[in-house]
Chain A
Amino acid sequence: MPDTQLPTYTAKDFTTDQDVRWCPGCGDYAILTAVRKTLPKLTTRKEDYVFVSGIGCAARFPYYMETYGMHSIHGRAPAFATGIKLANPELDVWLVSGDGDLLSIGGNHTMHVMRRNVDINIILLNNQIYGLTKGQYSPTSEFGKKTKSTPVGSPDYPVNPLSWAIGGGCTFVARSIDIDVKHLEEVMLRAAAHRGTSFVEVYQDCNIYNHQVWFYASQKKTKPDSTILLKHETPMIFGAERNKGLQMNGTRLEVVQLGNGVTEDDLLVHDETDRGLAFLLSQLAHPEFPEPLGVIYASTEHDTYDRVVHEQVRQAIHTHGKGDLHALLHEGDTWVVEDE
Chain B
Amino acid sequence: MTPDTSTAHGRIGTKSLGAVAIRFCGDSGDGMQLTGGQFTNASALFGNDIATFPDFPAEIRAPRGSTYGVSGFQVQFASTEIYTPGDAVNALVAMNPAGFKTNISDVEPGGIVIVNEDEFAKGNFRKCGYEDGYNPLEDDELNRRYQIFKVPMSRLTRESLADMGMGAKDIDRCRNMYALGIVYWLYDRRIETTVDFLNEYFGKQKNQPQIAEINVRALKAGYYFGETAELFPVRYHVAPAKLKAGKYRKISGNEATVLGFVTAAAKAGKKLFYASYPITPASEIIHGLARLKHYGVMTFQAEDEIGAVCAAIGAAFAGDFALCGTSGPGLALKAEAIGLAVMFELPLVVIDVQRAGPATGMPTKTEQADLLQAMFGRPSESPCVIVAPRSPSDCFDMAVEAFRLAVHCMCPVLFLSDGYLANGAEPWLLPDLDAIHPIEVNHPTETNNPEGPYLPYKRDPETLARPWVIPGTSGLEHRIGGLEKQDVTGNISYDPDNHEHMVRTRAAKVLKAAQIIPPLEVRGPDSGDVLLLGWGGTYGAITTAGDELRRRGHSVSTAHLRYINPFPSNLGDVLSRFNTIIIPELNLGQLRMLIRDRFLIDVIGINEVRGKMFQVDALVKKTLEIMTNRSASVCDRRLNSMP
Contacts and interface: CB of A to CB of B under 8 A. Distances in A.
A binds B: yes
Interface of A: 2, 16-18, 45-52, 55, 62-63, 65-73, 76, 78-88, 90-91, 108-109, 111-112, 309, 312-313, 315-317, 319-323, 325-326, 328-340
B453 A83 contact: no
Contacts of A49: 471
B479 A325 contact: no
B249 A330 contact: yes
B340 A91 contact: no
Contact of A69 (B433, B474, B479, B492): B479
A328 B315 contact: no
B483 A71 contact: yes
A93 to B, nearest CB: 9
A72 B294 contact: no
Contacts of A321: 294
A329 B431 contact: yes
Contact of B294 (A65, A317, A330): A317
A81 B263 contact: no
Contacts of B275: 83
A325 B263 contact: yes
A79 B341 CA distance: 14
Interface residues of B, number: 71
Given A87-B320, A323-B262, 12 more contacts: A52-B314, A68-B479, A70-B317, A72-B340, A73-B340, A83-B313, A83-B318, A322-B295, A323-B292, A329-B263, A333-B193, A338-B245
B473 A79 contact: no
Given A328-B292, A329-B430, A87 B314 contact: yes
Contacts of A325: 262-263, 266, 295, 433
Contact of B47 (A2, A70, A337): A337
Contact of A328 (B262, B271, B453): B262
B302 interface: yes
Given A47-B474, A72-B482, A88-B471, A79 B247 contact: no
In order of increasing CB-CB distance, the 5 nearest A-B pairs are: A83-B314, A71-B481, A323-B295, A83-B311, A79-B310
Contact of A76 (B248, B259, B306): B306
A322 B307 CA distance: 29
A340 B306 CA distance: 52
Interface string B303-336: 1101110111111111110100000000000001
B456 to A, nearest CB: 10
27 contacts: A47-B475, A47-B476, A68-B478, A68-B479, A69-B481, A70-B479, A78-B307, A79-B307, A79-B314, A80-B317, A82-B314, A86-B315, A87-B298, A87-B320, A88-B471, A91-B472, A108-B303, A109-B303, A316-B294, A323-B296, A325-B433, A328-B292, A331-B249, A334-B248, A335-B45, A336-B247, A337-B242
A72 B492 CA distance: 13
B637 interface: no
A51 B193 CA distance: 56
Contact of A79 (B41, B45, B306): B306
B323 to A, nearest CB: 11
B293 A80 contact: no
Given A317-B293, A323-B294, A71 B315 contact: no
Contacts of A85: 314
B255 to A, nearest CB: 9
A79 B315 CA distance: 10
A184 B471 CA distance: 26
B244 interface: yes
Contact of A312 (B293, B318, B471): B293
A10 to B, nearest CB: 16
Contacts of B271: 87
B170 interface: no
Given A91-B318, A112-B307, A325-B263, A337 B473 contact: no
A67 B477 contact: yes
Given A84-B317, A108-B307, A333 B44 contact: yes
B171 to A, nearest CB: 28
Given A67-B477, A79-B307, A86 B266 contact: no
A79 B276 CA distance: 12
Nearest to B258: A328
B243 interface: yes
Contact of B298 (A65, A86, A108): A86
Interface string B288-301: 00001111101010
B294 A319 contact: yes
A63 B479 contact: yes
B246 interface: yes
A340 B41 CA distance: 23
B491 interface: yes
A215 B453 CA distance: 41
A91 B471 contact: yes
Given A83-B273, A335-B248, A72 B481 contact: yes
B10 to A, nearest CB: 31
Contacts of A317: 293-294
Contacts of B266: 325
Contacts of A72: 310, 313, 340, 481-482
Interface in B327-359: 336-337, 340, 344
B480 interface: yes
A76 B242 CA distance: 53
A333 B275 CA distance: 29
A47 B471 CA distance: 6
Contacts of B243: 337
Interface string B444-458: 000000000100000
A108 B304 contact: yes
A69 B483 CA distance: 13
B471 A48 contact: yes
Given A63-B492, A323-B292, A336-B246, A47 B312 contact: no
Nearest to A21: B492
Contacts of A70: 314, 317, 344, 479-481
B433 A329 contact: yes
A65 B430 CA distance: 50
Contacts of A320: 294
Residue of A70, A90, A336 with most partner-chain B CB within 10 A:
A70
Contact of A71 (B263, B273, B336, B480): B480
Contacts of B292: 323, 328
A63 B481 contact: yes
Interface in B52-85: none
Nearest to B293: A316
Interface in B385-419: none
Most buried by A among B271, B294, B295, B475: B294
A86 B300 contact: yes
Contacts of B296: 313, 323
Nearest to A14: B477
Contacts of B560: none
B247 A335 contact: yes
Nearest to B339: A73
A105 to B, nearest CB: 10
B324 to A, nearest CB: 10
